[in-house]
A and B are shown apart, each in its own frame.
Chain A
Amino acid sequence: LTAQIEPVQPHSVHTLVFRSLKRTHDMFLSDRDCLPAPDPTADKVRQAVKARDQFGPVLHMQSSAKTARPAAGKQAAIAAAPAGSDGADSNSALIPASAASAASQPASSADPGSAAASAAAANTASVQVGEERMLVPKRAPLMPKPDWHPPWKLYRVISGHTGWVRCVAVDPLNRYFVTGAADRLIKIWDLASGTLKLSLTGHISTVRGLQVSDRHPFLFSCSEDKTVRCWDLEENKVVRHYHGHLSAVYGLTLHPTLDLLVTCGRDATARLWDMRTKLCIHTLAGHSSTVAAVASQSAEPQLVTGSHDCTVRLWDIAAGKSLVTLTNHKKSVRALAIHPTQFTFATGAPDNIKQWKFPDGQFLQNFSGHNAIVNALALNEDGVLVSGADNGSLHMWDWRTGSCFQRHTSPVQPGSIDSEAGIFALAFDRSGSRLITAEADKTVKIYKEDETATEETHPVNWRPGLLKKARY
């Protein structure tokens, strides 16, 4: 036998070691964290051998597994629910395979192998740890595919104010919108044409908050001169003053169903006013710094406030106490927006814009990427969240997935310097198709969706894991 010995190729030790290392790596890397997949035939063979060895003489008798199955079924019914969930919640308990399989296929055979295979097809993966085989929920995809929204474009610029335009409010019937500015004027503009209809004077300092009531012909305004005024729009004059704030009033909101007015200000309180009697019903104390934003809704909790002490509070207005304090933000919360149809809301701060769920303020997700002082948030019924920042940038986000589909900075009006770019307030009109922006270059800009854009012309820029967004 002359074995044809191939001459050994001379290699350095380094090469040999490296090659062997690489081979090992290739062979085992994919299986690194996984235990070997259960091989049902091998298991069966092993079990059969052992059974014959141990219980050979009695195997012909009826096994206890069949008698014990109804009991197992009862157990499964109790612990069934989270088996099929696709949540990324790692706190969910590991479910024994037998129970899960019994839940999914109670009538079929109690063969654990087949049950595991079927369950693996769902959102769970079957993992063998020792003797027990468990179902572990697979991790949810990092970024679900966002919905397509048409991009927004500027189509009208309205100048008329001689100071920063600080707040916007829209008429409930969508005929006009109102703006308040640092020139102490409140101007009423026609929404369709953008022409000025009326200027109201009376405030002695910057007008910071405006709201038009849907049930009365009233316009409410609050200002840095500590006053809150109620203007009668039929007579165009002030009919009520709400006295009580100790310092500048920064935000104002009307309760949708009750005749209540809520204002918040620099004295770290939010005040609840009875519209008719001008009394301060509750002084909601609890924040330790300026309360910058306030929003109200008809369901519990009826009031949300955001403050410069980086917290968001949800209040019970009947008792005048805060229900929940959310401390997830690291920087001042200046903007709030409640979703019109969903039971969710968003808060904006320079570190992140966060999405939350009512009624407990459960954190949902981050809209990260707008690294600027967010002064205003506005939410659409189509699921478009717009955030406006102090440097004049507008980011449009998809509400459901948290992805930003448009970043826009409009140029300042001619005559302004570049540092005068800034957005102080945002409002969607009642139809949700026009976005009104109150800016620091003393203009009001109106945006609308681009009708000519389609999914092909402006495709969604998305890839799973494209944007490393802040997880919490």
Chain B
Amino acid sequence: MSLTKLIPSPTQRLSERSTPAAANAASAADKPLVAVQSAAPPYGHRRGWTPRRQEDFGDGGAFPEIHSRQYPLGMGQPQSASSGPTLPMTLGADGRVNFDAVVRQGQRADKVVHSKFSDLLPKPIDEDDPSFQRPDEESIKDLTEKTRDALQRLVESKAAASNPVRSAERTGPAQFIRYTPSQQGAGYNSGSAQRIVRMVEAQKDPMEPPRFRISKKVPRGPPSPPATVMHSPPRKVTSKEQADWKIPPCVSNWKNPKGYTIPLDKRVAADGRGLQGVHVNEKFVMLAEALHTAEVKSREAVSMRAKVASRMQQAQREKHEETLQQIASRARGERAGLAPAAEAAEAAAEARERDAIRRERAEQRAHERNRKGGGGANDRDRDISEQIALGRPALQRNQQDPEAAFDSRLFNQDAGLASGFHAGEDEIYNVYDQPWRANASSAGHLYRPTKGLEEGASADEELGRLASGTGRFVPDRRFEGTGGGAGGSRRDGPVQFEKQVEEDPFGLDDLFDKVKRSETVGTGSKRPASGHRDEGGSGRKRDRRD
């Protein structure tokens, strides 16, 4: 609120030129120091003068006698419109500088470009505001029609290329235009002020092929200027986030189409083995500890037991020795007739030594015996591999000599070049040149029943006993009295043959028999007078013709 509003406005406008002195001063101040010439000097007096402004040319052109560059009406002046990368600063309607001139350069002025900060700010929806409401039906209809026409034209031009040739299109009616040229005068237009122009559409020849080649490929023009970016720059990705999105390369356990050689650690990593955690149950540790303690304890117990036992044994032995010594001393005493105690002690010691020696010698003899072996029960019970390990020949029940215990083929074998080749003969069949069980020693490796066997008995005897002794193995028991020959219970073999009694109708055989008997009766043959003939006996099924 300024105070000047409180007082009335001045009634007389006092000018600065009211006093003559002041007026002079003002007029002097008004006068320019240099007189400005409004127009060019006349022809002939232009020496040393150059036109500087557009007004100096007046309404004429350049001055040919002035030898300097002149651009009357700005014609021919090199365009400074593309004057480097600078744009002129302009002010907008609201008085502020147009900072988006940079963004809008090269585009038409009414193109919508969002470049201000206010374009980013949120605005509320005001339902009453007409700009938020859809345009009315009429304007939409107009727009639809316009769009339809535009698009229809495009479609037609595209479709026309493939249309068959039709008759010539009718040209539109002629248009008449009244034209008033700017240059008027008696010399122009034969004196008339206006002209009438008749505009006619040029006729198009329907059969004409296209006039211009449009299949030529022309590079695309420059794109429209880029739109302003109306958001903040993207945030920098932290290394953790980058690591989160990292996808490991796919290494398949099944397919490898390009045949890449991938190191083992990468193959394993692809399995996901690094991601698994190996969890061992704690009870394994507990078990191991328990086992360890149990072992230790058992060892302790065993050793203690052994110690105790050995101590007991020691005590027993000593006691036994003591008794023996006592007996020996008593015996000595009896023999020597109660010899003094000191001598008895010496004698006892000597006796003990001798006993020890005897014992040793007995042990050695037993060892020798064992080493030598013989047909002891031990050898028989041992496994063949043990016998081999002991180096003893496998002797049988028949107690054959030890020399025959080894196969002679095992000795004097030289696996040198001399052996095996046989001078190139490969038809030699010498694998089976000796019987398999040439000596009875190998027979012992086979199973023979040992149970219930008396020493010295052979298997054949036993078999005979089994066959006849026990009543278990009786070939099919027949009824008594059945069967032929000696009561029917006699069997000669597994297959019982029946003698086929030949029918003798004429009694010729009897005749022969009689004759023979009569001849041999005297000689005292012991041939039994039975039907059983040895010559033609068994097996003869037919008459034998002599």
Contact = CB atoms under 8 A, between A and B. Distances in A.
Interface stretch (B225-233, B248-256, B385-393, B423-431): B225-233
Given A300-B143, A317-B151, A328-B231, A64 B1 contact: no
A61 B8 contact: yes
Interface string B214-249: 000000000010011111101000000000000000
Contact of A327 (B2, B131, B144, B228): B228
Contact of A343 (B4, B9, B134): B134
Interface string A315-345: 0011100111111111000000000011110
Given A257-B144, A279-B155, A361-B114, A47 B4 contact: no
B218 to A, nearest CB: 15
A344 B122 contact: no
B7 interface: yes
Contacts of B112: 323-324, 360-361
A362 B232 CA distance: 18
A82 B419 CA distance: 128
Nearest to A61: B8
Contacts of B140: 257, 298-299
Nearest to B229: A327
A282 to B, nearest CB: 8
Interface stretch (A84-92, A195-203, A458-466): A84-92
A10 B116 CA distance: 60
Contacts of B232: 330
Nearest to A141: B124
A65 interface: yes
B509 interface: no
A389 B107 CA distance: 38
Nearest to A313: B227
Given A298-B144, A327-B229, A328-B120, A51 B6 contact: yes
Contacts of A362: 114, 119, 123
B133 interface: yes
Interface stretch (A11-19, A52-60, A159-167, A225-233): A52-60
Interface in A29-63: 43, 47, 50-51, 54-55, 58-59, 61-63
A102 B53 CA distance: 49
A55 B231 contact: no
B494 to A, nearest CB: 80
A257 B148 CA distance: 10
Given A65-B6, A281-B155, A342-B133, A298 B231 contact: no
B147 A317 contact: yes
A357 interface: yes
Contact of B8 (A62, A302, A357): A62
Nearest to A276: B155
Interface in B78-129: 94, 111-112, 114, 116, 118-125, 127
Contacts of B139: 299
Given A298-B140, A298-B143, A342-B133, A365 B122 contact: yes
A151 interface: no
B144 A258 contact: yes
A302 to B, nearest CB: 7
A302 B155 CA distance: 18
A471 B7 contact: no
Contacts of B122: 88, 363-366, 471-472
A59 B121 contact: no
B3 A357 contact: no
Nearest to B227: A325
Given A59-B6, A311-B227, A326 B151 contact: no
B469 to A, nearest CB: 84
B136 to A, nearest CB: 10
B411 interface: no
B150 interface: yes
B125 A344 contact: yes
Interface string A247-291: 000000000011010000000000010100101011000100000
Nearest to A52: B6
- Most chain B C-beta atoms within 10 Å of own C-beta, residue among A62, A63, A67: A63
Contact of A50 (B3, B133, B154): B3
Interface string A351-393: 0000101001111111000000000000000000000000000
Contact of A89 (B2, B121, B146, B150): B121
Interface size class of B (residues with CB under 8 A): 35 or more
A318 B134 contact: no
Nearest to A63: B6
B508 interface: no
A323 to B, nearest CB: 6
Interface string A92-124: 010000000000000000001000000000000
Contacts of B124: 87, 140, 144, 364-365
A68 interface: yes
A326 B114 CA distance: 8
Main SS of the interface on chain A?
loop
Interface string B41-64: 000000000000000000000000
A362 B126 CA distance: 14
Contacts of A91: 94, 116, 118
Interface in B154-188: 154-155, 158-159
A51 B3 contact: yes
Contact of B231 (A87, A318, A329): A329
A258 B8 contact: no
Given A87-B123, A281-B151, A318-B147, A64 B4 contact: yes
A436 to B, nearest CB: 25
A400 interface: yes
Given A55-B3, A311-B227, A329-B231, A365 B123 contact: yes
Nearest to A358: B134
A131 interface: yes
B5 interface: yes
A328 to B, nearest CB: 5
B452 interface: no
Given A47-B3, A51-B3, A400 B125 contact: yes
B493 interface: no
Contacts of A272: 151
Nearest to B235: A330
Nearest to A110: B5
- Most chain B C-beta atoms within 10 Å of own C-beta, residue among A281, A300, A318: A318
Contacts of A364: 122-125
Contacts of B111: 323
Interface of B: 1-9, 94, 111-112, 114, 116, 118-125, 127, 131-135, 139-140, 143-144, 146-148, 150-151, 154-155, 158-159, 224, 227-232, 234
10 contacts: A59-B6, A61-B7, A112-B1, A298-B143, A327-B227, A329-B231, A341-B134, A360-B114, A363-B121, A471-B120
Nearest 8 CB-CB pairings of A with B: A472-B120, A65-B5, A325-B227, A318-B150, A365-B122, A64-B9, A61-B8, A328-B230
Interface of A: 43, 47, 50-51, 54-55, 58-59, 61-65, 67-68, 87-91, 93, 112, 131, 140, 144, 257-258, 260, 272, 274, 277, 279, 281-282, 286, 298-300, 302, 311, 317-319, 322-330, 341-344, 355, 357, 360-366, 399-400, 471-472
Given A277-B155, A326-B227, A327-B229, 9 more contacts: A65-B6, A89-B121, A131-B2, A282-B154, A286-B224, A299-B140, A302-B147, A363-B121, A363-B123
